[in-house]
């Protein structure tokens, strides 16, 4: 393995977090704890990835993915 790979692997190992859930209820609580502590950017990124994954699974012939309602205000940029 090359040196860059080993360096990236060491960084990944240093940032991994894990727990052992001994019941489904405990697993649910760990999941809620994770999402409560996640930043808004992480939550939005995960939601967007779920939308894209659903779009790919359903086929790309339907409407493009989107959120229900307004997540943020987006204005048109004109010169």
Residue 57 counted as domain residue: yes
Structure tokens at 12: 């990944």
Tens place of pLDDT per residue across the chain (79 aa): 689 999 999 998 898 888 899 999 999 999 999 999 999 999 999 998 988 888 888 777 766 666 666 555 555 656 5
The count of domains in the chain is 1
Distance CA 33, CA 26 (A): 10
Residue pLDDT, tens place only, 2-14: 899 999 999 988 9
- Residue 27's pLDDT is 93
| Average pLDDT of every residue of the chain | 82
Range of the domain at 47: 40-66
Q: Is the separation of the CB atoms in 49 and 65 below 8 Å?
A: no
Q: Please give the structure tokens belonging to residue 64.
A: 């493009």
25 assigned to some structural domain:
no
């Amino acid at each position: 393995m090359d040196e860059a790979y080993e360096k990236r692997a060491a960084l990944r190992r240093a940032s991994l977090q894990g727990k052992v859930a001994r019941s489904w209820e405990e697993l649910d609580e760990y999941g809620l704890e994770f999402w409560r502590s996640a930043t808004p950017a992480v939550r939005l990124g995960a939601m967007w990835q779920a939308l894209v994954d659903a779009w790919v699974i359903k086929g790309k012939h339907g409407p493009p993915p989107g959120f229900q309602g307004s997540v943020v205000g987006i204005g048109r940029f004109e010169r």
